[in-house]
Structure 1
Amino acid sequence: MSVVPSVAVVTANTPADRDRFLDLLRISSLVVVVAGHCLMLTVTVTDNEVRFGNVLADLPILRPLTWVLQVLPLFFFAGVAAGARSLEPGTSWGAWLFRRTQRLVRPLGYFVAASVALLTVADLVLTPGWHRPLAVTGVQLLWFLGTYLAVLAFVPALASWVTSGRRMFALVAAIVAGTAIVDAVRLTGGPEILGYLTLFVWLVPAVLGIGYLRGLLRRRTAAVLAGAVLLADVLLVLVGPYEVSMVTVPGQRLSNLAPPSLLLAGHAVMLCCAAVAVAPWLRRLAARPRVWWCTVIGNTGAMTLYLWHMPALLTVLVLSHLAGADRTAPTESGFWLLTAAQLTATAALTGAAFLGLRGLENTPLRWWDGPVATVRGLRSAATVLAVLAAGAAILQATRWGLTVDGGIWFAGAAAALLAARLLTRA
């Protein structure tokens, strides 16, 4: 069980120049995403098949809620803004990137090993139909980690470019325009593989985060831009080819999330600009001692919270199934009462995992967390490419989960991370 400091200790250890707005934004956006995952997942069990579904597929009227629940762009915005503070002229690109990779990846090995163990236990007590849904869904959320590592790899380059408001807006506009072109090609019969190009949408909150850090995004401008882009997004849904859900729902003609669409690009701009517009209010909220305590404790275990909420949810769903109560569809009697009970149990189990495993996230590993050399030239470039390769491999692994194919991609990610560590050894 990890030691949780008191409110007084957290307050005393907070630097006076700490931007509490970014810390509050980072953990609150993660909590909203976790809550959304727990709320939406359903399970249908037949004699030979188990299928995980989505409440949004059965209740389309709820899909507009995803505009509130899909807030991962805010995590990218806050995370990049906070991390870019340490970038100065002459900073080693490879060393900077690997120091951030060390902390992010540290809990990953524990999580994957424990997920394999939990899946093995589940295979002993459940019918074979459960294996693949649990194997895939249990680690599917790692797509976020793979994408975030890739975004971080570009941050030093972005920071060197985004030195004025004009450059910041020009880069955002270029990404948005490129996404619109790719979407148009895909919608008119073009190859689906082009969708991988729109992964650059996740650079939008990174660019805006750097702009915020450097004072290039004024509150009034941000407020106007947020309103204008929100209106444009609504029009894209009403008269354009885009569906309202900001997360993938079975049967969609064009997913807004996988791969990212123009609608998600606009959503990212709107969210980040709206956050900047209300930053003073959020900063005052974060200054309250207990709110700040929750913010600090949450951020020191953010990866633990994100990783372990899904195993907690799946455990509750399995136990509920064994008790004869499957959360199948919102049209069934008692669905929402069962949902409330399962969410309560999931929150309790996630909280226990957070308190018990948060210490692993904050305990350096002897070799992995050793000193990082100030690598330059080809060695720095090789480190960046290794981290990019690891992110791409993790992203691919989430498509297959804990299967043989997924294991190959996880092994590839591990090899790339090993290479990055060897390249940066002091």
Structure 2
Amino acid sequence: MSVVPSVAVVAANTPADRDRFLDLLRISSLVVVVIGHCLMLTVSVSGDDVRFGNVLADLPALQPLTWLLQVLPLFFFAGVAAGARGIAPGTSWGAWLFRRTQRLIRPVGYFLVASAALVFAAGSALGPGWQRPLAITSVQLLWFLGMYLAVLACTPPLAAWVTGTGRMFAAVAVIVVAAGTVDVVRLGGGPAEVGLLNVAVWLIPAVLGIGYLRGLLPRRTAAAVAFVVLLIDVALVLVGPYETSMVTVPGQRLSNLAPPSLLLAGHAVALCCAAVAVAPWIRRLAARPRVWWLTVIGNTGAMTLYLWHMPALLTVLVLSHLAGGDRVGPTHQGFWQLTAAQLGATLVLTALAFLALRGLENTPIRWWDGSVAPVRGARSAAVLFAVAAAGLAILQATRGGLTTEGLPWFAVAATALLGARLLTRS
């Protein structure tokens, strides 16, 4: 078990200029995502046919809740805003990026090895029908890590560009217009692959995060923008071609998440601006000793929390199946009682995994976590390219998971990260 400092120790070690708003926003958004995953996943078993589904597909009336549960834009916003503090004139972009990559990637290797072992064990015990669904679902959540790495790789040039309010809103407008153009092509029968261009939507929270850090987004302006964009998003759903759900649901004509859509772009703008508008209240909440203690502990193991909630959830689902209690869907008797029981069990297992494995996230790996050279010029640009390539490869790998379709992409990501490490060696 990792050592957890006391409330007093955490308070004493907190710098006076720490922006607690960003820290609380970052960990709370991650917790909401974890709970959302636990609530939405369903299991249908018929002989050797095993399928993981989504409760939102069976009960569409719940889909508007995803406007509250899809809060990953807030994590990107807070993460980039906090990290961009370290980017100043003369900063080595490659070194800045790789130092953040070191911390993010450190616990992933342990997670992948453990996930592969769990998938093999569960498949062997339950039958071949479980192997592929578990192999894909167990690592599907890594799409977030891949996208976050790609966004971080773009953060230094964005920080160089976003030096004024006009430039900030111009950058957001360009991304929004591009997303809308891509959607027009997709809805008009164009190739589905063009939708991949919309991954740029995840740069919106980064741009706004940099703007917040530099005082370019006043609270009143943020509140007005959030309100107007929310109304536009509602109109896009009511009279436009967009689905209600902010997460992917089977049977959708156009997913809002994978790849992102114009609706998600608007959602990101509205969420981030709304957060800025209420920042003083969030900051006051974070100033409470117990809340701040939980915030700090959570953030020091954020990747552990995010990674290990899925193995915990899948373990609960498998054990529930063995006990004769599959969580099939909301139309089945006892579904909500089973949901509550499984959610509680998953949160307990996740908490235990967090306490046991958080130390791995904070323990440097000798070669990987060695000193980082202040690379410049082409070498620095190569580091940005390598990390971005690794992120996009991880994003692609999650489609196939721990199968022959996904493993080659994981190998590509590992190779790119190895290249970034070699480029930044002192």
Q: Which runs of 5+ in 2 are unaligned?
A: none
> Does the CA-based 8 Å contact 2:143-2:395 persist in structure 1?
yes
Residue 51 of structure 2: aligned partner: 51
The alpha-carbon deviation at position 363 of structure 1 amounts to: 0.4
Match for 2:245: what amino acid? S
Match for 1:276: what amino acid? V
Residue 37 of structure 1: aligned partner: 37
> Does the CA-based 8 Å contact 2:120-2:131 persist in structure 1?
no
**Residues in 2 aligned to 1:193 and 1:252: alpha-carbon distance in whole angstroms:** 16
SS in 2 for 1:43: strand
Residue 111 of structure 1: aligned partner: 111
After TM superposition, list the pairs within 5 Å mapping 1:32-111 onto structure 2: 32-111=32-111
The alpha-carbon deviation at position 211 of structure 1 amounts to: 0.2
SS in 2 for 1:404: coil
Q: Please, what TM-score do these two structures have when normalized by structure 1?
A: 1.00
Residue 377 of structure 1: aligned partner: 377
Deviations for 1:40-75, whole angstroms, at most 9, x for unmatched residues? 000000012000000000000000000000000000
**Residues in 1 aligned to 2:192 and 2:134: alpha-carbon distance in whole angstroms:** 27
Residue 210 of structure 2: aligned partner: 210
Residue 169 of structure 1: aligned partner: 169
> Does the CA-based 8 Å contact 2:123-2:129 persist in structure 1?
no
SS in 2 for 1:141: helix
The alpha-carbon deviation at position 412 of structure 1 amounts to: 1.0
After TM superposition, list the pairs within 5 Å mapping 1:300-319 onto structure 2: 300-319=300-319
Match for 1:358: what amino acid? R
The alpha-carbon deviation at position 140 of structure 1 amounts to: 0.2
After TM superposition, list the pairs within 5 Å mapping 1:217-366 onto structure 2: 217-366=217-366
**Residues in 2 aligned to 1:211 and 1:8: alpha-carbon distance in whole angstroms:** 33
**Residues in 2 aligned to 1:318 and 1:263: alpha-carbon distance in whole angstroms:** 35
Two-structure CA RMSD over aligned residues (Å): 0.5
The alpha-carbon deviation at position 80 of structure 1 amounts to: 0.1
Deviations for 1:285-337, whole angstroms, at most 9, x for unmatched residues? 00000000000000000000000000000000000000100000101110000
**Residues in 2 aligned to 1:379 and 1:251: alpha-carbon distance in whole angstroms:** 45
Deviations for 1:171-194, whole angstroms, at most 9, x for unmatched residues? 101100110011001100111111
Residue 388 of structure 2: aligned partner: 388
> Does the CA-based 8 Å contact 2:387-2:417 persist in structure 1?
yes
Match for 2:384: what amino acid? V
The alpha-carbon deviation at position 377 of structure 1 amounts to: 1.2
**Residues in 2 aligned to 1:342 and 1:254: alpha-carbon distance in whole angstroms:** 31
**Residues in 1 aligned to 2:388 and 2:228: alpha-carbon distance in whole angstroms:** 34
**Residues in 1 aligned to 2:290 and 2:368: alpha-carbon distance in whole angstroms:** 34
**Residues in 1 aligned to 2:397 and 2:194: alpha-carbon distance in whole angstroms:** 19
**Residues in 2 aligned to 1:353 and 1:11: alpha-carbon distance in whole angstroms:** 25
Q: Please, what TM-score do these two structures have when normalized by structure 2?
A: 1.00
SS in 2 for 1:405: coil
**Residues in 2 aligned to 1:118 and 1:155: alpha-carbon distance in whole angstroms:** 36
**Residues in 2 aligned to 1:170 and 1:411: alpha-carbon distance in whole angstroms:** 37
Identity %: 78
Deviations for 1:352-373, whole angstroms, at most 9, x for unmatched residues? 0000000000001111000000
The alpha-carbon deviation at position 405 of structure 1 amounts to: 2.0
Deviations for 1:222-251, whole angstroms, at most 9, x for unmatched residues? 001000000000000000000100000011
Q: Determine if the alignment matches structure 1 residue 416 to structure 2 residue 426.
A: no
Q: How many residues align?
A: 426
**Residues in 1 aligned to 2:392 and 2:177: alpha-carbon distance in whole angstroms:** 24
Deviations for 1:117-161, whole angstroms, at most 9, x for unmatched residues? 111211221111100100000000000000000000010000000
**Residues in 1 aligned to 2:4 and 2:156: alpha-carbon distance in whole angstroms:** 34
SS in 2 for 1:349: helix
Q: Determine if the alignment matches structure 1 residue 401 to structure 2 residue 393.
A: no
**Residues in 2 aligned to 1:252 and 1:104: alpha-carbon distance in whole angstroms:** 32
Residue 21 of structure 2: aligned partner: 21
Match for 1:164: what amino acid? G
Residue 138 of structure 1: aligned partner: 138
Runs of 4 or more, structure 1, over 2 Å off, are none
